[in-house]
Amino acid sequence: MSQALVLLVDDDDSSLDMLERRLRRAGYAVLTAVDGEEAVAEAADKLPDIVLMDKRLPRLDGYTAVRALRGNSRTREIPVICLTADATPEDEQAAIEAGCQHFMAKPVEFAVLLAVMESLLGAAASGG
Amino acid sequence: MTTLNDPRQPGPRSAGRHDPQRQDLAVLTRANHDMRSPLSVILGVFDLLEDTGSLTDNEHRYLKLGMRAADELLMLADALRLYSALERNLVTLDPIPVDLAEMVKEQLESVFSHKGTNLDLSVTPPGDTRALGDAGYLPVALTHLLRHLAAHLPETPASRSPAITLCRRDEGGHVRVQVARGEPGPKPDTGNLDGGEPPVMDELGVLIGIRLIEMMGGSVIIGSQPSLTITLPAAGASPPA
């Protein structure tokens, strides 16, 4: 799926830059945000097709930001993948409970990330 | 079900109480976390470089070396996280019937694959080698222990390559699998392998492997030949207390 709009949220400049480059290279348009508040605002304003959300973020943590997205009728249906360096089953459970569709531990395997994104975007496009 | 509880969650603690060991473990957990973000960047750079498709053979070889080093760091991060969780009793295991010999064979092939070593993985005598082990953590324990064995095995001719040299279900209700050089004679003992200060990853891996196997009601003997003997309760035997 080319030119789907991805909102990439991470407070680590290097991680953000690297993943943004790889996503653009894979054919996606990419928006970025560096904290939870900015992510919620950007999502409501630009309505991305999918959000890649870090867990540990300043101002508003990733899970709280996802809950805010779910609480807004404009952003409620946007699929969210949680990307985090906290790689425990409890983190995964917390991410799903917050409203993320998928959870991936850093460092992610990029091919797997793309496959998950394609699947979620396909499901969203078909209303699933 | 296999559960690794969140090792970052503080347990009960008294106000003002100082627990150096808990603090050490929390530092280990943070170290794991803080290694992962830069590793993401490093692996991302490697992927981007590989994608250019214009690398010379030498550049490609350097890239592979870097990727392998990054994988080692990732294994260390994983080991730090697991060790910290084990030390804080935050890992819950669920032993189920697994074929110990088959699992050892799989991990042995995986650990030694990069060495190009010919392995003799015949199980003798053939028999019921089903044991009670956690399907998620047993492979982790075996990988760590076999990597330790691999690190201490001298480069040998194929005839002396690692093999399953003993595999049996004993009358005490245990399944025992021994891995050693593929030649007769290595007699297991309870001593540790000698030879200087071990790398952190090796030391951590052995601690993790032994702890996990013991939590499954089994035991590990690391022989100085070198050899590795893993014992687990046989499937059908009483589960570990």
Q: Give B45 to chain A, closest Cα distance, Å.
A: 7
pLDDT score at B178: 81
pLDDT at A114: 96
Per DSSP, the three-state class of B102 is helix
Q: Is B37 on the interface with A (CB under 8 A)?
A: yes
Arithmetic mean of pLDDT, B81-108: 86
> How crowded is residue B121: how many other Cβ atoms within 10 Å of its Cβ?
17
The pTM of this model reads 0.70
Residues of A in contact with B73 (CB under 8 A): none
Across all residues in chain B, what is the average pLDDT?
Answer: 76
- Secondary element (H or E) of residue B188: none
Q: Does residue A86 or residue B65 have the better pLDDT?
A: B65
To the nearest 10 degrees (0 to 180), the angle between helices A62-70 and A36-46 is 30
Q: How buried is residue B190: exposed, middle or buried, by Cβ count under 10 Å (0-12/13-18/19+)? A: exposed
DSSP 8-state assignment for residue B15: T
B120 DSSP 8-state letter? B
pLDDT digits (tens, 9 = 90+) for B119-131: 666 665 566 788 9
Contacts of B51 in chain A (CB under 8 A): 25
Question: Nearest C-alpha of chain B: how many angstroms from A11?
Answer: 11
Residues in chain A: 128
Which of A76-80, A104-108, B79-83, B148-152 tops mean pLDDT? Answer: A76-80
> Quick one: pLDDT at residue B91?
86
Q: What is the dihedral of CA A120, A121, A122, A127, to 10 degrees?
A: 90
Q: Which residue in chain B is spatially nearest to A25 when comparing CA positions?
A: B48
Output DSSP code: residue A76: T
Contacts of B201 (CB under 8 A, 6+ apart): B72, B75, B76, B79
d(CA B142, CA B129): 16
| CB within 8 Å: A110 and B47 | yes
Interface touch A86/B48, C-beta < 8 Å: no
Query: ω into residue B38 within 30 of 0, thus cis?
Result: no
B167-200 residue pLDDT tens: 676 777 888 888 877 654 444 443 444 445 666 7
Please give, one letter per residue, the 3-state secondary structure of A90-103: HHHHHHHHHCCCEE
Give residue ranges of A with CB < 8 Å to any B CB: 12, 14-15, 18-19, 21-22, 25, 85-91, 105-108, 110
pLDDT value at position A2?
54
Q: Is the pLDDT of residue B12 over 50?
A: no
Comparing CA positions, the residue from B45, B37, B52, B35 lying closest to residue B66 is B45
